[in-house]
Structure 1
Amino acid sequence: MELTHFFFAFTSGSLWLLSFLFLMNVPGVNVKANRWLGAFYFILACTFTQLYIESSDFVHRYPLLIHYLELPRWAMLPCFYMAMLYFVNPGRKSLTIFFHFTPVLLFLLFSLVYIMPPFSGKANPLPDLPNFAPLIISHFFSLQLVVYWLLCFVAVRIHAQNIRLIASSIERIDLTWIKYVLFSLLFLLFLRISASVFEPLSAYLPVLYFLGTALLAYFSLKQGVIYPIRPAQLHELTEVFSKKPTTERLTTEQVDMLKTKVVTFMEKEKLYLEPGLTLPALADKIGISTHELSYVLNNGLSKNFYQFVNEMRVEEAKRLLASDEVNRLDMRGIATYAGFNSKTTFNTTFKKITGQTPTTFLKSFENPT
């Protein structure tokens, strides 16, 4: 077996296994998103199986098999995009899903009628197509790669803003691994475009495709729970994330009353010391809905949830730095006792809120001028 055949075979086999793992949701989290990701890997496996067959003698024995494997290709990138949307907002319900799969459904219908009719056993004469049609069809997948990569990138950027509305610590749910998945996909896109421009690169494509696929698999399997909340609360996140204007849920008097209740409850119970505190968890403890709490924070305090909690943590850190606790705790200990997940986040947040680093604050407190 030539090296080209080996890498195409190994890559396609790995992708078939990956598709099974994600369709069965072996990671055990982010169920809907992983099903879509499994569908993406399934179609990608079909593509590399096709490349393997085309590089071997099988292409002459089973010519229609190539077309069968090629049929779902236009659904590959929409599946990946759907996975990204459900990763960033698992409670979403949208009818626009079907719009993304219109091209592949039309191509499937065209294939069944003109290329491989399932009942007649012979192909019908192809209709007269415009001269530009073959050009569009041949480059449609490359266009999809660019468009859907950009859409996914925008979705992840929006997620980076949205998680501050519902989480007090974002290090473990900021979808950094998805960014690496996107750049792995970009690497495959770069290879595809480069090979069409720089012909000598084609000889190394099988190995490079394998490396790109390995990166995709590695970062996909690194995922964790993005929203550690009850499934019943997922639809409330969609309301919180929505940028559409809504009618006022609470009167000014109700906002003022709840604002006082929220601040008093947080200061009394010191819930900000819990690193994993979320908007739904706090809403449950206070006894109001997630959307109402978000409304009170945004309209009553002019802050998102992340700002609200971390400002309280910074105040706690300042109290610790000004107390005798500083004699037995280093900066990492101060960060932990104040509710921060990491020293880096502590330093960044402290400086952003106070205008100085924790160390500078400590020195100024020790040596007042």
Structure 2
Amino acid sequence: MDTSELNRFVVILIYGSLVLLSLLKLSNPLKVNRKANFWFGIFLFLWSSFWLDETLSLVLRSEIQIHSIFMVQFVQFLTPVIFYFSVLFYTNPSFKFKLSDVKYFILPFIFLIILFLQRKETIESDSAFFEFLEIIYISLILIQALFYTGLSYFTIRKHQKKIQQFSANTEGINLNWLEYIILIIFVINIVYIIYNLSYDSTSLNFFINAAFLLVIYFVAFYSLKQKEIYPVEEKQREELISIDENAETEGVRKKLISDDELLKLKNQLETLMDIEKPYLDSELNLIRLSELLSISTHHLSYVINTGFQKNFFQYVNEYRIEYAKKLLKDSSKNKLSILGIAYESGFNSKTSFNTTFKKLTNQTPSEFKK
């Protein structure tokens, strides 16, 4: 099988995989992150259309150019925007579109005008102006991709900081999989567009398509195992979303309770952590701890941020690491593996345990034990 045949096979796999994954995300059999999965499913379907020409050409055995259709070009241009919408809903399921959000469609509107002008110039054959429009056309595609790639990336980074205010185990909800692939997807897209406008090499297209296929399988694996990020119960979800991700920063902290009340709650919290050891529960979050202390989530967050100068993630995991250190020193626990100690200490994975342990002690658990 030569390179061109391999490339055709890979193209069919790419298109089929994206359409199938799109249908899975839209149907959302696990019923999690509903709005986010809806927009992500639309994004995947639009993304698959970039291989529609090649797929139809292979199936019908004749040259098909769907991408030259006016509406197809416009809809494909929306792909990065739709991706950003999915990121918005992953990081904030309560997000609602407002009139001010019309700004997201400024670039698509300009692109639509360019498409109209291109059609008009094609008919009138003004080559100089047509070339000028072609430059703007390509520039808008690149600007759109780069802008929404960056915006999505920083939205995810902000989310990763925010969830540390209410969760002590962030591994399954930090959207790391999106952060890792986000730049790769659009960098490959940009390379693909630029290269195919300048050259025609089946060999390079094969390697680019193969890279896309690997990324798609990576997306499929992590997107399908993505669990619910925020509580399903609306009141709890709204409480957590409203917590400021910068609350531990001195400059943005607002005084919610008096200093005397703060000191009293600090002591109650420390007593609770020492006696009942709620941190050993791997599912502990701000809501559960606030219920144990019989205070609101906002007040508890304020106590931890202001009273201990830490976020919830740091505060709880310091207790877990101290408990793990005791287990590692205890000769009667020698039969426990590192993973066993991680679970005993309240962590839900060896990776998060090792990372947190190394960060707080400058040693791995194995090094500490030795």
**C-alpha distance in 2 between matches for 1:113 and 1:131:** 12
Query: 1:267 and 1:97, CA in 2 relative to 1: closer, same or farther beyond 3 A?
Result: farther
Query: 1:135 and 1:162, CA in 2 relative to 1: closer, same or farther beyond 3 A?
Result: same
- What residue is the counterpart of 2:108 in the other structure? 104
**C-alpha distance in 2 between matches for 1:131 and 1:151:** 30
Helix, strand or coil for the counterpart of 1:101?
A: helix
Root-mean-square deviation (CA, aligned residues, Å) is 3.8
- What residue is the counterpart of 2:275 in the other structure? 268
Query: 1:51 and 1:312, CA in 2 relative to 1: closer, same or farther beyond 3 A?
Result: same
Q: Assess if the C-alpha contact under 8 Å between 1:40 and 1:80 holds in 2.
A: yes
In terms of mean alpha carbon deviation, does 292-301 or 51-60 score higher?
51-60
| Aligned pair partner of 2:232 in 222, 230, 233 | 230
What pairs up with 1:326-345 in 2 under 5 angstroms?
Answer: 326-345=333-352
Q: Assess if the C-alpha contact under 8 Å between 1:316 and 1:338 holds in 2.
A: yes
- What residue is the counterpart of 2:255 in the other structure? 248
**C-alpha distance in 2 between matches for 1:352 and 1:203:** 45
Q: Assess if the C-alpha contact under 8 Å between 2:114 and 2:137 holds in 1.
A: no
**C-alpha distance in 2 between matches for 1:342 and 1:7:** 35
Residues 226-264 of structure 1: CA deviation (Å, up to 9, x unaligned):
525233122223222454846432222232222222222
**C-alpha distance in 1 between matches for 2:203 and 2:69:** 22
Q: Assess if the C-alpha contact under 8 Å between 1:59 and 1:66 holds in 2.
A: no
Structure 2 letter corresponding to 1:99: K
Structure 2 residue 174 is the aligned partner of structure 1 residue 174: yes
Query: 1:350 and 1:113, CA in 2 relative to 1: closer, same or farther beyond 3 A?
Result: closer
- What residue is the counterpart of 1:163 in the other structure? 163
Residues 83-120 of structure 1: CA deviation (Å, up to 9, x unaligned):
1222233334463543212332454578689969xxxx
Query: 1:70 and 1:217, CA in 2 relative to 1: closer, same or farther beyond 3 A?
Result: farther
**C-alpha distance in 2 between matches for 1:64 and 1:178:** 27
Query: In the TM superposition, what is the alpha-carbon distance from 1:59 to its structure 2 partner?
Result: 4.5
Q: Assess if the C-alpha contact under 8 Å between 1:236 and 1:290 holds in 2.
A: yes
Structure 2: unaligned runs, 5 residues or longer = none
- What residue is the counterpart of 1:77 in the other structure? 80
Q: Assess if the C-alpha contact under 8 Å between 2:166 and 2:313 holds in 1.
A: yes
Structure 2 residue 287 is the aligned partner of structure 1 residue 280: yes
**C-alpha distance in 1 between matches for 2:328 and 2:320:** 12
In terms of mean alpha carbon deviation, does 347-356 or 313-322 score higher?
347-356
Residues 158-180 of structure 1: CA deviation (Å, up to 9, x unaligned):
33333322221233333232234
Query: In the TM superposition, what is the alpha-carbon distance from 1:358 to its structure 2 partner?
Result: 4.8
What pairs up with 1:92-131 in 2 under 5 angstroms?
Answer: 92-93=95-96, 95=98, 97-105=101-109, 107-108=111-112
**C-alpha distance in 1 between matches for 2:67 and 2:130:** 25
Structure 1: unaligned runs, 5 residues or longer = 117-122, 364-369
Higher relative contact order (CA 8 A, sep 6+): 2
- What residue is the counterpart of 2:49 in the other structure? 46
Query: In the TM superposition, what is the alpha-carbon distance from 1:344 to its structure 2 partner?
Result: 4.8
**C-alpha distance in 2 between matches for 1:19 and 1:126:** 40
Query: In the TM superposition, what is the alpha-carbon distance from 1:6 to its structure 2 partner?
Result: 5.9
Q: How many residues align?
A: 354
Structure 2 residue 191 is the aligned partner of structure 1 residue 188: no
- Aligned-residue sequence identity (percent) comes to 29
Query: In the TM superposition, what is the alpha-carbon distance from 1:143 to its structure 2 partner?
Result: 2.0
